[in-house]
């Protein structure tokens, strides 16, 4: 069955981009489509007739992100570190559906994050650089844990210059602080508080150790 046959259904999806770089607002998704996830540019849906596929539908005003992501996937090709991109429409991409909790979910649910997953992300970054890309915007919500291994989602910023430092800071935090919380459930409110504080302070002379120590009283309770 040709996945393009469900394009009329995809056109009925109504989403709005959030002005403050938050996940898109999902207004309506027609059945039998099911929401599998959402990011700042798009919503990801599945159709029961195509279980191996995920359809990433982009909000108005975010179509350049779709083109960027498609260009990045073409460079990445088939890799154990990234989903496969099978094609695109004017407002969506067709990707392999990837199961597993995000690293953010792992922290919330107390699922251990193995060293292997961190190593996989480092290997994925090397692979992306060798493909002529600039792996950036890698954070807790776009790395999946699959049977102890990592898979990276959302590569739209890999075509942009600059290093936001986010993954490097996460690795430092993993080495320094994760042993204190491994296997423990971290409340969402605490993760969001850390994230907001990070965005406020990351510019300039930033120390992960100094920053992280501020939150030790919360995790020792």
Q: Report yes or no on 218 lying in a domain.
A: no
Distance CA 192, CA 199 (A): 11
pLDDT value at position 221?
A: 55
Q: Report yes or no on 217 lying in a domain.
A: no
Boundaries of domain holding 60: 3-96
Q: Report yes or no on 86 lying in a domain.
A: yes
Distance CA 198, CA 201 (A): 5
Distance CA 2, CA 49 (A): 10
pLDDT value at position 205?
A: 74
Regarding whether 123 and 75 lie in a shared domain, the answer is no
Regarding whether 63 and 151 lie in a shared domain, the answer is no
Regarding whether 203 and 111 lie in a shared domain, the answer is yes
pLDDT value at position 48?
A: 96
Final residue in a domain of this structure, among 52, 74, 96: 96
In the three-class reduction of DSSP (H, G, I as helix; E, B as strand; rest coil), residue 32 is classed as coil
pLDDT value at position 219?
A: 76
Regarding whether 191 and 141 lie in a shared domain, the answer is yes
Final residue in a domain of this structure, among 47, 73, 96: 96
CATH number at residue 152: 1.10.510
Q: Categorize the per-residue pLDDT at 21 as very low, low, confident or very high, splitting at 50, 70 and 90.
A: confident
Regarding whether 183 and 110 lie in a shared domain, the answer is yes
What total of structural domains would you count in the chain? 2
Regarding whether 91 and 16 lie in a shared domain, the answer is yes
Q: Report yes or no on 35 lying in a domain.
A: yes
Regarding whether 195 and 112 lie in a shared domain, the answer is yes
pLDDT value at position 220?
A: 65
- Closest alpha carbon to 93 in 10, 209, 212, 164: 10
- In whole numbers, what is the pLDDT of the chain averaged over residues? 94
Q: Report yes or no on 219 lying in a domain.
A: no
pLDDT value at position 3?
A: 85
Higher pLDDT among residues 75 and 201, named by residue: 75
- Closest alpha carbon to 182 in 128, 131, 118, 134: 118
pLDDT value at position 44?
A: 98
What's the Cα-to-Cα distance from 105 to each of 63, 141, 183, 186, 198, rounded to whole Å?
28, 8, 12, 10, 19
Percent of the chain with pLDDT over 90: 84
Q: Categorize the per-residue pLDDT at 20 as very low, low, confident or very high, splitting at 50, 70 and 90.
A: confident
Q: Report yes or no on 195 lying in a domain.
A: yes
Regarding whether 109 and 90 lie in a shared domain, the answer is no
pLDDT value at position 112?
A: 98
Regarding whether 88 and 16 lie in a shared domain, the answer is yes
Identify whether 137 is a catalytic site residue.
Answer: yes
Regarding whether 63 and 145 lie in a shared domain, the answer is no
CATH number at residue 16: 3.30.200
| Least reliable range by pLDDT among 17-26, 82-91, 132-141, 161-170 | 17-26
Q: Report yes or no on 138 lying in a domain.
A: yes
Percent of the chain with pLDDT over 70: 98
Say which of 41, 137, 154, 168 is annotated catalytic: 137
Q: Categorize the per-residue pLDDT at 1 as very low, low, confident or very high, splitting at 50, 70 and 90.
A: low
Final residue in a domain of this structure, among 34, 67, 96: 96
- Is pLDDT at 52 greater than 90 in this prediction? yes
């Amino acid at each position: 069955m040709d996945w393009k046959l469900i394009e009329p259904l995809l056109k009925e999806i109504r989403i709005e981009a959030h002005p403050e770089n938050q996940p898109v607002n999902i207004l309506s998704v027609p059945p039998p489509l099911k929401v599998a996830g959402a990011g700042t540019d798009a919503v990801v849906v599945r159709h029961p007739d195509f279980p191996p596929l995920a359809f990433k539908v982009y909000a108005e005003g975010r179509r350049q992100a779709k083109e960027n992501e498609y260009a990045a996937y073409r460079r990445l090709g088939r890799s154990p570190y990234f989903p496969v991109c099978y094609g695109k429409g004017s407002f969506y991409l067709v990707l392999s559906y990837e199961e597993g909790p995000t690293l953010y979910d792992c922290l919330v649910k107390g699922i251990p994050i193995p060293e292997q997953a961190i190593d996989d992300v480092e290997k994925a970054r090397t692979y992306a650089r060798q493909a002529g890309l600039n792996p950036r915007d890698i954070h807790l919500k776009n790395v999946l844990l699959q049977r102890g291994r990592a898979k990276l989602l959302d590569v739209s910023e890999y075509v942009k210059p600059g290093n936001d430092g986010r993954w490097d800071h996460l690795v430092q935090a993993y080495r320094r602080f994760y042993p204190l919380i491994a296997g423990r459930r971290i409340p969402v409110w605490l993760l969001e508080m850390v994230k907001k504080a990070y965005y406020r302070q990351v510019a300039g002379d930033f120390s992960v150790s100094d920053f992280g120590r501020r939150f030790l009283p919360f995790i020792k309770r």
